[in-house]
Chain A
Amino acid sequence: MITLNANHLKLIKEHGQKDYPYECCGFILGHLNQDGTKHTHEIYPIENSREESAQHNRFLIDPKEFIKVESYARKNRLDVVGIYHSHPDHPAKPSQFDLDHAWPVYSYVIVSVQKGKASDLLSWEMRPDRSGFDAENIKGE
């Protein structure tokens, strides 16, 4: 379970709409609880580092950006608890490419952006054996 309040959801959806028809991406910062649930404190949008010709169906986060965000999170006593990205004109479901590049524990929040308008937003967690994703419950605040 991950908490995302109305403002967090709005920020992710707006980012997806702004970057349409390209994929947007960003970090979800908060606290990872001992029972595995996550509490979101902040949405941290970043630039998609993929070359422009691939941005309509791929996102890449520059490792230097990751270091910057981890450092920012540490200073603010937060953790990187998830990553969000958009699927322009595709459902908010993880792809095989998403699975191939996924890490355990993180929430993978995907917003579907249909013809420039954000629609479904779902969260997913990779199974520990990497066999697939399970839907993760999103709790509002």
Chain B
Amino acid sequence: MSVPVYIPTALRQFTGGKSEINVEAKTAGEAIEQLTIQFSVLRKHLYNDQNALRSFVNVYVNDEDIRHQSGLQTPLVAGSTVTIVPSIAGGVNL
């Protein structure tokens, strides 16, 4: 089934400027995989060398972090949305 993946501004330079990409997928993992097949340069920004999602990359299915669901195996159903959410943090060194 086709589901939309929402892309944050920081990564849109790698998706031709598009904020929403539709992919065919049954799980969250498949959705991200399909996305990186369409836009291969995205891969290094989403996955680390061990082929795991980077720690500062969050994937949400229907507004819920997949880490609190079934991880990359989180199922997608009709109407599901997938959102890539950057962790935003910072601060001074003391």
Contact = CB atoms under 8 A, between A and B. Distances in A.
A69 B6 CA distance: 13
A85 to B, nearest CB: 6
Contact of A58 (B6, B10, B83, B89): B89
B87 interface: yes
B49 to A, nearest CB: 15
Contacts of B65: 63
Interface in A69-123: 70, 74, 79-81, 83, 85, 87-88, 90, 94-98, 101-106, 108
A59 B63 contact: no
A5 interface: no
A80 B92 contact: no
Contacts of B58: 63
Contact of A97 (B13, B60, B93): B93
Interface string A22-34: 0101000000101
Given A103-B10, A105-B13, A106-B9, A66 B88 contact: yes
Interface bin, chain B: 20 to 34
Given A57-B94, A63-B60, A67-B63, A83 B13 contact: no
Interface residues of A, number: 36
A15 to B, nearest CB: 15
B91 interface: yes
A106 to B, nearest CB: 6
Contacts of A98: 90-91
Contacts of A105: 9-10, 12-13
Given A70-B6, A70-B83, A59 B91 contact: yes
Closest 5 pairs between A and B when the two form their complex, measured CB to CB: A58-B91, A103-B10, A61-B88, A98-B90, A90-B92
